[in-house]
């Protein structure tokens, strides 16, 4: 019974002392302890096993029990002390709470007393300051009333004085008084409901209306629209009247300006009527000379009559420009058939010079007043190299240089640009047609000069250089573009661009493509006997040295045209209006020059390729089965190297300025020669072991030459581009692998097939058939070999194409070089 009670007590105690993880964590943070007895997951069995790990440790069990009992007694003492200390805590807490409540009640009482005293103080202050506020309001109202009365007195007196001065035409006093009256009247806008104030406002408006009518009548009397004579000079009355007009409705000022300018330019309309001889374009200078004299006359007689801010001199000039543009458009529309290019350019040049003179003299501040006028936007600073001085531009005449001046950044800032010259735009088709004709004649002259002078000669400065006609063409284009942009930046620029496109294509066809040498189909090939005799220089390339220089020169010219055409397109887009930029596109012409470049490179490749064809044919016809020993490189290799050394240095020297296209030539030749060499290699059958070794030595020699192809025959050694080297190594390594497979014994067949798959990585049965033919195997042996080859082919991965090609890692160039050296040593030993 005692044991059961102790067990139940332990369970109850454990249930009471079970704490949540959060509480347990907090206890561990406050009272950190390393004692296993303090852990939440305490296990008595594990703890006892720790104390007594072995049977021998049970000998000190009494000491352990005594230590635990001592610890229990200490814990009991601590608990007893804590419990006794907490006996009076509850009573002390209640007493402290009561004291706090009493203190809070006292605090609330004090706060209420302070609030009552503050309300009483506020009431007392309001009573003290009530009278002071009333006095402040009275003072403010009194001040406003006095000010308003003063303004009313000033307004009434000013209106009376204004009416009296108006009748006496005392405009000098009226100008100052009217402005003051208007300013004072603005203070009475909120009092317009008062009849007296409204009456004064109406009197002011009536006075302003009367002043306007009276001033217009005075100007009409001084400057009649219809009259035989103009008054001798201005009067002070009219000068003061202009000051009054500044204060009146702006329409009065505009009417005065309009009538004066109309009367001032009435003589111009009579002198330069449409039916007058001086009205035609050849006398256009007289128009501008007349307005210059009139402006000088105005400054002397009327310069001080009008206020300076009216800009009357500029307004007269601007109105003159509008009238001139209208009149010139009318005259040119009537006599359109009489307009010639030189006459049109003369008139445009004189007009643009006059517009430039206006820009130097005036600011253009009045242009916004004229309807339909819009200040042109300033373009960006030119950064295109097309505008920079070019080598062929020294021959431009002074007249061309004058026409080229508007290309400077300051010229487009002219606010008067096009104010008169805009009328010539509908007739610029005459200029465009003239440029079409001139460019056609220029292209024909280029063709004739080329036929007369002939192609550039080898060994001269012209050999391989850009054709002079190309620079002449683009210098002329530049001059035309500058001229046309000076005339118009609208549709005429689009028409000129179309002309440029037309003759760029004609230049590419007639001058460049038309003069490329034609590759002849017949090839006076080499015979085997001639190759075996190894007579150097007995075979010549299909193109002469001069023809090679001509092809290189055409290639360089096409490249120059390609780059300059791109710059021309960018400059045209800068010159033309923004809304028309999308219509300028010279991509087709640039593609044409790219085609010329590609055709030129192809001709050079075909020429060298054709020169090597007889040697490759001789290689395929040599009796490789009867070769008895391995010697130096074969005669056909010597012939190929000879042709390469003849052609490549010439091409490289003539393409020195276009290095990237020389690299393209090398790459295209290699891509053409190596497959052709491999095809001829397959024709060499049957081949003995010694013959295969000789072919392998020849292949290595060709590989070495091809790797050095870009710098062959050059005193300056330059490393070949990595892309080119990769192509040569990959192609010639395949040729070497073919020969190594041929050299390998075909017995046992499994080893031979596996060796082929490993070296060539080619799953095409046709290639394997060619290898067997080179080895000279019988048809029966070939059939079994082919069947074994199909069985030994690795299965392609799922999802891959079902083609016969395989993907194996080819030997590195270093490995192949090492193998070639071993082969050379073997050959030397046999020799």
Mean pLDDT of 820-826: 54
pLDDT at 224: 66
Q: DSSP assignment of 182-238, as one string?
A: HHHHGGGGGGTTSHHHHHHHHHHHHHHHHHHHHHHHHHHHHS-SS-S---SS--HHH
In SS3 terms, 489-533 reads as CCHHHHHHHHHHHHHHHHHHHHHHHHHCCCCCCCCCCCCHHHHHH
The highest-confidence range among 45-59, 639-653, 752-766, by mean pLDDT, is 639-653
Q: What is the pLDDT of residues 263-277, one digit of tens each?
A: 778 888 888 877 777
Map out the domains of the chain as residue ranges: 1-123, 421-597
Q: Assign 520 a pLDDT band (cuts: 50, 70, 90).
A: low
**Are 678 and 732 within 8 A, CB to CB?**
no
Confidence check: pLDDT of 111 > 90: yes
Confidence check: pLDDT of 464 > 70: no
Query: Which residues in 691-709 are b (16+ Cβ under 10 Å) and which e?
Result: bbbbbbbbbbbbbebbbbb
Using alpha carbons, select from 612, 640, 609, 599 the residue that is nearest to residue 517.
599
pLDDT at 232: 45
Mean pLDDT of 208-212: 69
Sign of CA dihedral 324, 329, 330, 334: positive
Q: What architecture is the 421-597 domain classified under in CATH?
A: Orthogonal Bundle (1.10)
Residues counted in the chain: 831
185 versus 499: the higher-pLDDT residue is: 499
Confidence check: pLDDT of 686 > 60: yes
CA atoms within 13 A on the CB side of 506: 18
Cβ of 433: how many Cβ atoms within 10 Å?
Answer: 13
CA-derived radius of gyration, the chain:
54
Confidence check: pLDDT of 538 > 50: no
Spatial distance between the Cα atoms of 475 and 568, rounded to a whole number of angstroms: 11
Spatial distance between the Cα atoms of 491 and 95, rounded to a whole number of angstroms: 104
In the numeric block, the tokens 């046709």 are attached to 766
272 exposed, middle or buried (CB, 10 Å; 0-12, 13-18, 19+)? buried
CA 720 → CA 155, 552, 733, distances in Å? 98, 20, 18
| Cα angle 437-439-445, degrees, rounded to a multiple of 5 | 105
Structure token digits, residue 442: 């220029």
* Percent share of the chain, pLDDT over 70: 75
Which of 137-151, 458-472, 484-498 has the lowest average pLDDT? 458-472
Confidence check: pLDDT of 226 > 60: no
Confidence check: pLDDT of 377 > 70: no
15 versus 735: the higher-pLDDT residue is: 735
Q: What are phi and psi of 762, to 5 degrees?
A: -125, 115
**Are 493 and 485 within 8 A, CB to CB?**
yes
Query: Which residues in 489-519 are b (16+ Cβ under 10 Å) and which e?
Result: bbbbbebbbebbbebbebbbebbbbebbbee
The highest-confidence range among 320-324, 396-400, 459-463, by mean pLDDT, is 320-324
Confidence check: pLDDT of 815 > 60: no
Helical packing angle, 765-775 and 659-683, nearest 10°: 60
Q: Assign 537 a pLDDT band (cuts: 50, 70, 90).
A: very low
644 exposed, middle or buried (CB, 10 Å; 0-12, 13-18, 19+)? buried
| Cα angle 37-41-43, degrees, rounded to a multiple of 5 | 65
Mean pLDDT of 509-525: 70
In the numeric block, the tokens 């690795």 are attached to 794
Q: Assign 504 a pLDDT band (cuts: 50, 70, 90).
A: very high
**Are 350 and 283 within 8 A, CB to CB?**
no
Structure token digits, residue 707: 């790797």
Q: What is the pLDDT of residues 724-766, one digit of tens each?
A: 999 999 999 988 888 888 888 877 878 888 877 888 877 778 8
pTM: 0.61
Spatial distance between the Cα atoms of 102 and 95, rounded to a whole number of angstroms: 11
pLDDT at 614: 92
């Amino acid at each position: 019974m005692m044991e059961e009670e102790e067990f139940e007590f332990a369970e109850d105690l454990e249930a009471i002392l079970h704490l949540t993880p959060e509480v347990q964590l907090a206890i561990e943070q406050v009272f950190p302890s390393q004692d296993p007895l303090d852990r939440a997951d305490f296990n008595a069995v594990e703890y006892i096993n720790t104390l007594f790990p072995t049977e021998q440790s049970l000998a000190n069990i009494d000491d352990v029990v005594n230590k635990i009992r001592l610890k229990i007694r200490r814990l009991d003492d601590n608990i007893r002390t804590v419990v006794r200390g907490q006996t009076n805590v509850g009573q002390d807490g209640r007493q402290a709470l009561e004291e706090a409540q009493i203190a809070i009640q006292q605090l609330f009482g004090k706060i209420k007393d302070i609030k009552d005293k503050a309300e009483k103080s506020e009431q007392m202050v309001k009573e003290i300051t009530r009278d002071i506020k009333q006095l402040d309001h009275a003072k403010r109202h009194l001040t406003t009333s006095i000010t308003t009365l003063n303004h009313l007195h000033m307004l009434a007196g000013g209106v009376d004085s204004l009416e009296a001065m108006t009748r006496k035409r005392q405009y000098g006093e009226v100008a100052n008084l009217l402005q003051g009256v208007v300013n004072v009247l603005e203070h009475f806008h909120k009092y317009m409901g008062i009849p007296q104030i409204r009456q004064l406002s109406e009197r002011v408006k009536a006075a302003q209306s009367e002043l306007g009518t009276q001033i217009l009548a005075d100007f009409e009397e001084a400057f009649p629209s219809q009259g035989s004579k103009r008054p001798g000079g201005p009067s002070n009355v009219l000068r003061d009247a202009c000051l009054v007009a500044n204060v009146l409705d702006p329409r009065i000022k505009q009417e005065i300006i309009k009538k004066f300018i109309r009367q001032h330019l009435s003589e111009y309309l009579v002198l330069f009527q449409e039916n007058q001889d001086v009205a035609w374009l050849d006398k256009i200078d007289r128009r501008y000379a007349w307005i210059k004299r009139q402006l000088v006359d105005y400054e002397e007689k009327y310069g001080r009559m009008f206020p300076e801010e009216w800009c009357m001199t500029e307004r007269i000039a601007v109105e003159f420009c509008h009238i001139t543009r209208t009149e010139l458009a009318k005259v040119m529309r009537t006599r359109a058939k009489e307009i010639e290019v030189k006459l049109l350019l003369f008139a445009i040049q004189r007009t643009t010079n006059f517009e430039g003179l206006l820009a130097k003299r005036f600011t253009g501040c009045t242009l916004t007043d004229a309807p339909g006028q819009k200040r042109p936007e300033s373009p960006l600073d030119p950064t295109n190299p097309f505008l920079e001085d070019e080598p062929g531009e020294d021959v431009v005449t002074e007249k061309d240089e004058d026409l080229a001046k508007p290309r400077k950044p300051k010229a487009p800032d002219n606010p008067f640009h096009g104010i008169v010259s805009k009328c010539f735009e509908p007739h610029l088709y005459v200029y465009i047609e003239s440029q079409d004709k001139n460019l056609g004649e220029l292209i024909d002259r280029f063709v004739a000069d080329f036929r007369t002078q002939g192609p550039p000669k080898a060994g001269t400065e012209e050999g391989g250089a850009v054709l002079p006609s190309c620079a002449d063409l683009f210098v002329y284009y530049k001059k035309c573009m500058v001229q046309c942009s000076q005339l118009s930046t609208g549709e005429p620029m689009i028409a000129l661009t179309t002309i440029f496109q037309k003759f760029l294509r004609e230049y590419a066809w007639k001058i460049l493509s038309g003069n490329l040498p034609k590759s002849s189909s017949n090839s006076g090939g080499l015979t085997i006997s001639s190759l075996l005799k190894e007579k150097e220089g007995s075979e010549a390339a299909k193109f002469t040295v001069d023809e090679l220089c001509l092809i290189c020169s055409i290639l360089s010219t096409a490249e120059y045209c390609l780059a300059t055409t791109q710059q021309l397109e960018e400059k045209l887009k800068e010159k033309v209006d923004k809304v028309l930029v999308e219509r300028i596109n010279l991509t087709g012409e640039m593609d044409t020059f790219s085609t010329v470049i590609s055709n030129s490179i192809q001709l050079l490749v075909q020429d060298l390729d054709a020169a090597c064809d007889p040697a490759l044919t001789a290689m395929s016809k040599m009796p490789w089965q009867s070769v008895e020993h391995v010697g130096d490189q074969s005669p056909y290799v010597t012939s190929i190297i000879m042709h390469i050394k003849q052609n490549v240095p010439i091409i490289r020297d003539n393409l020195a300025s276009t290095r990237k296209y020389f690299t393209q030539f090398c790459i295209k030749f290699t891509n053409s020669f190596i497959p052709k060499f491999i095809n001829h290699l397959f024709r060499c059958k049957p081949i003995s072991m010694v013959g295969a070794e000789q072919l392998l030595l020849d292949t290595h020699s060709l590989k070495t030459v091809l790797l050095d192809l870009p710098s062959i025959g050059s005193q300056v050694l330059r490393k070949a581009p990595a892309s080119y080297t990769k192509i040569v190594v990959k192609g010639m390594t395949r040729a070497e692998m073919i020969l190594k497979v041929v050299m390998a014994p075909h017995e046992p067949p499994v080893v031979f097939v596996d060796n082929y798959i490993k070296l060539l990585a080619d799953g095409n049965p046709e290639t394997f058939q060619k290898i067997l033919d080179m080895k000279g195997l019988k048809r029966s042996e070939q059939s079994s070999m082919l069947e074994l080859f199909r069985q030994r082919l690795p299965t392609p991965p799922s999802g891959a194409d079902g083609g016969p090609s395989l993907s194996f890692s080819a030997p590195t160039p270093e490995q192949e070089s090492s193998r070639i050296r071993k082969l050379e040593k073997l050959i030397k030993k046999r020799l």
